[in-house]
């Protein structure tokens, strides 16, 4: 009976669900803070009467509009997807990531996921992982699902993400620093000359993949404002400058 009830899995993956939910971190009354209260693993206050845990909160979200009409980034889509994946595989999400990705990638370090009071892993964020291990994931995507000669996931998955999605649906969100972009399968696509796409955190954390430059960048960041639009004017040109440099070097090597 929630807003997710009549959404498709693809709409959840592409964040084109129509949800009555505000993720404005600057607004103390925004839904993100109600969501955070429900998700907190700490004991709830004595007078707390809201949902307890990610799954209980997701069931309270109401619909606003028509699914599929417009892109709108809302973290709760990722938690809904985590629930779908766990239900479909009958496996805890952290264990699934360990078996399907972390071990196959030969990660150097253990990774950690935030959990709610019931021990449910937070799919929408809160993961702690090593820089080089995240680069391994980026490299697997760059290499069409392969890393160190081992198939991590099908090439069709990497290609689907690389293709991006409907730019017109994305444009309705009004991202001035990502005009001409799109969003597919939880990845932001820039549709630039390098076919670059990225995983992006609200404080600047990034896995930036530029296939036509044969480049993966992983960046840790703790920018104080929870908004990529504040740092995109400097960050995105920097990534593209690196891609341009590497592309030129590849041409130079090829000519030699």
Q: Is 68 within 8 Å of 16 (Cβ atoms)?
A: yes
For 29-33, 111-115, 160-164, which range has the lowest pLDDT when averaged over its residues? 29-33
Q: Which pLDDT band, with edges at 50, 70 and 90, does 4 fall under?
A: very high
For 20-24, 178-182, 185-189, 204-208, which range has the lowest pLDDT when averaged over its residues? 20-24
pLDDT value, residue 226: 87
Both structure tokens of 210: 């530029």
Position 87 pLDDT exceeds 90: yes
Query: Which domains are assigned to the chain?
Result: 168-256 (3.40.710.10)
Beta-strand relationship, 146-147 and 182-184: unpaired
pLDDT value, residue 249: 77
Mean pLDDT of 122-147: 96
Position 26 pLDDT exceeds 90: no
Position 184 pLDDT exceeds 90: yes
State pTM to two decimals: 0.93
Position 121 pLDDT exceeds 90: yes
Q: Which pLDDT band, with edges at 50, 70 and 90, does 256 fall under?
A: low
Position 253 pLDDT exceeds 80: no
Q: Exposed (0-12), middle (13-18) or buried (19+): which is 149, by Cβ within 10 Å?
A: exposed
pLDDT value, residue 187: 98
Give percent above pLDDT 70 in the chain: 98
Q: Which pLDDT band, with edges at 50, 70 and 90, does 25 fall under?
A: confident
């Amino acid at each position: 009976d929630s807003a997710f009830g009549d959404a498709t899995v693809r709409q959840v993956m592409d964040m084109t669900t129509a949800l009555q939910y505000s993720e404005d971190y600057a607004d103390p009354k925004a839904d993100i803070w109600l969501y955070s209260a429900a998700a907190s693993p700490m004991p709830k206050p004595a007078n707390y009467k809201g949902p307890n845990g990610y799954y209980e909160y997701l069931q309270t979200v109401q619909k606003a509009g028509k699914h599929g009409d417009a892109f709108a980034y809302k973290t709760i889509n990722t938690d809904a997807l985590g629930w779908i994946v766990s239900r479909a595989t009958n496996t805890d999400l952290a264990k699934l990531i360990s078996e399907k990705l972390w071990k196959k990638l030969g990660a150097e370090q253990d990774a950690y996921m935030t959990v709610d009071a019931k021990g449910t892993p937070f799919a929408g964020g809160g993961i702690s992982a090593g820089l080089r291990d995240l680069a391994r994931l980026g490299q697997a995507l760059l290499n069409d699902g392969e890393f160190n000669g081992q198939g991590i996931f099908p090439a069709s998955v990497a290609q689907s993400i690389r293709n991006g999605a409907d730019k017109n649906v994305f444009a309705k969100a009004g991202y001035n620093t990502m005009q001409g972009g799109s969003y597919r399968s939880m990845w932001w696509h820039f549709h630039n000359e390098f076919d670059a796409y990225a995983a992006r955190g609200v404080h600047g954390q990034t896995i930036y993949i530029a296939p036509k430059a044969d480049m993966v960048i992983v960046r840790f960041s703790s920018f104080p404002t929870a908004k990529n639009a504040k740092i995109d004017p400097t960050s995105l040109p920097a990534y593209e400058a690196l891609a341009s440099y590497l592309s030129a070097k590849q041409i130079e090597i090829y000519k030699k």
